[in-house]
A and B are shown apart, each in its own frame.
Chain A
Amino acid sequence: MTLQSLDIVRRSATTTPSPRARGAHTGEVAKLIDVSKCIGCKACQVACMEWNDLRDEIGTCSGHYDNPADLSAQSWTLMRFTEYENPDSGHLEWLIRKDGCMHCAHPGCLEACPSPGAIVKYANGIVDFHEEHCIGCGYCITGCPFNIPRISRKDGKAYKCTLCSDRVAVGLEPACVKTCPTGAIVFGSKDDMKQHAAERIEDLKSRGFANAGLYDPAGVGGTHVMYVLHHADQPQLYANLPAQPKIGAMVGLWKGAAKPVALLAMAATILAGFLHYIGIGPNETDERDEEAARRELEKPS
């Protein structure tokens, strides 16, 4: 069944493979966020809300530039600002990271999701939530190594960046990519993005950022949203970007081994009982037992 405008290669809570004879017409795509070019203007936040018809609450100022304060069902991307005094250069650096779904090759959310087809991964690498199938359990939040999905208070369903799958499906770039004034966010095939990143890293190294590098963490099989970081050796500087994200061991256990083992255990228990019944048979109380009981009861105490 391939009615989808983007072919699905993985579905949540589905144990058989999806149809996958066809590849993605675009190949694997990726969004590259060059943190060194980002001015934190939040155009991406606005373009995201505007395109996706979302409007978050009008909050308050908490004494930081981060607004809204956190990701939400209405804010699928968010600039996180960190003022960092570099001990080596003595310079102040204003590190601004666009947070949002990383579109992992091995998505923890999809792994964790119990509802068939609520989370899918397309052949082009996009990991998408289909809220009509979402049951609102929040397992995706539990499964995500980047703490991205959020449950809406309006409908109890989980939301996150779709990488504008509706735009990509018709051959456009995501809204945040298109709007980014400085070109800090670029989009294309994953290979092209890696090449672009390599050029940027070379430029950054020439400007004294010896540890500039690409963030495409292997722990989740690589991501379809990647960062160019000036300090790739310390990703946690950027508002706690995980240094080595991976699907947590607990999630692996819970969603991996535990599932078949548990079912097997239950099945085995049933089977054991059944075989016991067949092999040994019931433990019945017969007339002799009643007789024995009667004798005892009639015995004067």
Chain B
Amino acid sequence: MTNHWVDIKNADLVLIMGGNAAEAHPCGFKWVTEAKAHNKAKLIVVDPRFTRSASVADHYLPIRTGTDIVFLGGLIRYLLENDKIQREYVVNYTDLSFIVKDAFAFEGGLYSGYDADKRRYDKSSWDYELGADGYVRTDPTLTDPRCVYNLLKQHYARYTPEMVERVCGTPKDKTLPIWDLIASTATPTRAMTIMYALGWTQHSIGSQMIRTGAMVQLLLGNIGIAGGGMNALRGHSNIQGLTDLGLMSNLLTGYMTLPNEAEQDYDAYIAARALKPLRPNQLSYWQNYRKFFVSFMKAWWGDAATADNHWGYDYLPKLDKPYDMLQTFELMRQGKVNGYICQGFNPLAAAPNKAKMDASLAQLKYLVIMDPLATETSEFWRNAGEHNDVDPSKIQTEVFRLPTTCFAEEDGSLTNSSRWLQWHWKGANPPGEARSDLEIMGALFVRLRALYAKEGGTFPDPITKLSWPYAQPESPSAEELAKEYSGYALKDLADPKDPAKITRKAGEQLAGFAELRDDGSTASGCWIFCGAWGPTGNLMARRDNADPTGIGQTINWAWAWPANRRVLYNRASCDPAGAPFDPARVLVRWNGSAWIGADVPDYKADENPDLGMGPFIMNPEGVARFFARGAMAEGPFPEHYEPFETPLASNPLNPDQPLALNNPAARVFADDRAAFGKADAFPHVATTYRLTEHFHYWTKHCRLNAIIQPEQFVEIGEALANEIGIATGARVKVSSNRGHITAVAMVTKRIKPLTIEGKTVHTVGIPIHWGFTGVAKAGFLANTLTPVVGDGNSQTPEFKSFLVKVEKA
């Protein structure tokens, strides 16, 4: 979330699209009902199904799953054609005036530089035109045909309301009034927030859908303001924190990235990330990358990280390609992975194509499970009848299942969608012999380290030299670790302006990332968390909920990254001179000498606005990008591509280019491509989702949740039910090209058939949540049906759009 949960109450308009906040985040959704009740806000829901969110919305529009870019692209066209944009905002705070290289082109659904064999782009043409001064050329009048504004207009010219109706199935006469309502927030005093979740991310073009939404918000001047923003509603309690901490195949902590194997030179690695400003006087905060990186390496390898060994640069593994989950399971299926550790994760249930997952896991020599609950993954080898029809005697995997504590039995912090780090306390002991993950990881590491110390082995240094300063080495405490990732001084730190003045004594906690140094004198395990445990103590445990301005900032409640800032890009809530766009919702303002207000300014705190520094300080441009440059796999502007399993034979936007039917830059493994189904055999469009009564695959183990939603079902519209001749409550078989499930049919008016390119398309809703362990009625894992293909950038599987056939069971 660029903003935060409570801030939603400041919105005048709420667009829920690509998510179902009422269903998946009911307690956060309360701030939507607050905005409605006390801010006269209107709620718009765009979704293939009439959801629980839609049930309390002012406006609902149906849409075919996977076509959100068409709808939003149409909206962008509408805003540009009708000049419903916040001009002062877009001209000053976005790249609309930037000139793009002549070589950049888009034709027939493909951008310049496409290599069809590698399914990859050469992105060199996807960039701005630089002037002689080394800075990007701009045209503030927005008249240059090569400026981003005109390219954008040109790109979305094809996204007409008629095209939206043809592709999305959303009727034009219903769409236009909604677009008009959204356009009303282009004024500085009206704010719209967009709330989305996995309904956007779980597509092969998910990242681009989100970008399109962000572009709408930028055009309307809705980013950085109270009641605005692009608000990703993360699905799990600490997905945000674990991603912030870099628990991804290609990341280090704080969104630093692992080196590629080509990056053998440490300084080049830093230089590629410490981006120089692309416009005059821009902060380009990543210029400090070296400080973040060195402090990080000091936190991990302590004294073993020295300037001489480039702070242990070679202790880090280097990538030849991404090793995301889908890639790893592909390698596993090919027999190239021997061991696997699942810490509180249930991939057999959560990953696409269960049959492939079963086959992959069976290739392992050993599998280690750490979980509080009996997950399906831990029992993938167990024959559970039709729900998991495997032969244990043929599965040679050794499986270890280690019982862990649950939330109630441990101390620590979680980071929510609002980027708040909140401390929690242990209330009871775990059952039986269960142990915390800290104890397990600690004990495992200490054993490994001892084995390497005793026996030696391959490249033992990063293991034996890893900094492990914990009082009980087999059981590091949450407090010790929090202090370590927050950061502390390794030596007395002198004030750079006055070397005689010591600002921080050795061993003292740091107040924030501004104190980090690149000379090895500071340690911070995760720079964006720096200050969470500051010199005054654990700020994550703060519980002052005072909200003096009444706009819901509560900045003394817990601690938010970065720097306890609650609304990202809040500088953009003010005009270029530093006066708030909307005097009724002031986040920050320039008082002539400093930036002050209800929030921590997302800006240089004493920067005079007249000097022209942009509000998007992490970007070297200082402004937000409509033109993504090389940041996205598929191209600088979002383009609609059909899901990999589509009911259509061609992409209506690019009917003559077969390569542009699906995302041309998505990675698809051969066996997974072979497992795709076609519309003639699987005519119904399916989408999977959560129900509010359950959380993922956990709460089927909880009696109370099993009571309120006991048994697996699928939702189908009345029209489809009539077609296949079933009534609600009957059992149906739902098959994809990868397997089938049977479940109770819930026949509903809330799913209506859509007319797409003149043909009727039925949507089938498949709630997840059931499996072959738990106290709820046993069911099929919904991912028996789903295809293995990820988003071109994030490799998030396409769970939201695939083809099935529904028939009477």
Contact = CB atoms under 8 A, between A and B. Distances in A.
Do A and B touch each other in the complex, judged by CB within 8 A?
yes
B693 A41 contact: yes
Contacts, number: 124
Contacts of A239: none
B700 to A, nearest CB: 10
Contacts of A63: 713, 727-730, 744-747
B382 interface: no
Contacts of A91: 60
Contacts of B56: 36-39, 182
Interface in B35-77: 36-37, 40, 50, 52-56, 58, 60
B740 interface: no
A119 to B, nearest CB: 27
Contact of A61 (B23, B37, B707, B711): B711
A67 B707 contact: yes
Contacts of B58: 207
Given A63-B713, A94-B50, A183-B34, A39 B729 contact: no
A206 to B, nearest CB: 8
Nearest to A42: B708
A125 interface: no
Nearest to A67: B708
A41 to B, nearest CB: 4
Interface in B253-303: none
A43 B26 contact: yes
B170 interface: no
A47 to B, nearest CB: 9
Contacts of A203: 36-37, 40
B22 A182 contact: yes
Contacts of B776: 58
B706 interface: yes
A49 B704 contact: yes
Q: Which of A56, A65, A183 has the most CB of B within 10 A?
A: A65
B693 A42 contact: yes
Given A56-B707, A61-B710, A181 B26 contact: yes
B750 A94 contact: yes
B569 interface: no
Given A61-B713, A64-B746, A85-B749, A92 B26 contact: no
B704 A46 contact: yes
B709 interface: yes
Interface string B706-726: 111111110000000000000
Contacts of B23: 39, 41
B521 to A, nearest CB: 48
Interface string A196-219: 000110010011000000000000
A62 interface: yes
B715 to A, nearest CB: 10
Contact of B692 (A39, A59, A67, A199): A39
Given A39-B23, A40-B52, A41-B692, A92 B30 contact: no
B775 interface: yes
A181 B27 contact: yes
Nearest to B34: A183
A166 interface: no
Interface string A203-240: 10011000000000000000000000000000000000
A68 interface: yes
A64 B711 CA distance: 11
Given A63-B745, A92-B50, A182-B29, A83 B703 contact: no
B33 interface: yes
Contacts of B748: 83
A160 to B, nearest CB: 18
Contact of A83 (B709, B710, B749): B749
A126 interface: no
Given A61-B712, A182-B26, A96 B55 contact: yes
A231 to B, nearest CB: 14
Contacts of A58: 703, 706-707, 710, 775-777
Contacts of A36: 56
B160 interface: no
A37 B33 contact: yes
A124 interface: no
B794 interface: no
Interface in B678-693: 692-693
A45 interface: yes
A181 B703 contact: no
A70 interface: no
B708 A46 contact: yes
Contact of A92 (B22, B33, B36, B749): B749
Q: Which of A46, A56, A94 has the most CB of B within 10 A?
A: A94
Q: Which of A39, A92, A93, A207 has the most CB of B within 10 A?
A: A39
A39 B693 contact: no
Nearest to B703: A55
B708 A181 contact: no
Nearest to B705: A46
Nearest to A62: B729
Nearest to A78: B708
Interface in B440-470: none
A64 B709 CA distance: 10
Interface string B731-749: 0000000000000111111
Nearest to A56: B707
Interface string A17-54: 00000000000000000001111111101100110000
Contacts of A38: 56
A60 interface: yes
A163 B749 CA distance: 34
Given A55-B703, A61-B713, A83 B750 contact: yes
Contacts of B709: 42, 61, 67
Contact of B30 (A50, A60, A183): A183
A173 B745 CA distance: 38
Interface in B339-371: none
Contact of A39 (B26, B727, B728): B26
Contacts of B747: 63
A290 interface: no
Interface in B766-780: 775-777
A57 to B, nearest CB: 7
Given A40-B52, A42-B692, A83-B750, A59 B30 contact: no
A200 B54 CA distance: 19
A39 B22 contact: yes
A70 to B, nearest CB: 13
Nearest to A40: B52
A38 B707 CA distance: 20
A85 B718 CA distance: 13
A263 B235 CA distance: 67
Contacts of A56: 707
Given A39-B56, A55-B707, A181-B27, A92 B693 contact: no
Nearest to A94: B55
Contact of A40 (B55, B60, B705): B55
A238 to B, nearest CB: 13
B237 to A, nearest CB: 16
Nearest to B43: A207
Nearest to B50: A92
B33 A182 contact: yes
B710 A181 contact: no
Given A40-B55, A92-B60, 9 more contacts: A59-B707, A61-B729, A64-B728, A68-B707, A92-B750, A94-B55, A182-B29, A184-B33, A207-B58
22 contacts: A37-B33, A37-B37, A39-B22, A39-B23, A49-B704, A50-B704, A55-B707, A58-B703, A58-B775, A58-B777, A59-B710, A60-B777, A61-B712, A61-B713, A67-B709, A91-B60, A92-B60, A94-B52, A94-B750, A183-B33, A183-B34, A203-B36
Q: Give the 6 A-B CB pairs with smallest separation, nearest first.
A: A63-B729, A63-B728, A181-B26, A61-B711, A94-B55, A39-B22
Interface of A: 36-43, 45-46, 49-50, 55-65, 67-68, 75, 83, 85, 91-94, 96, 181-184, 199-200, 203, 206-207
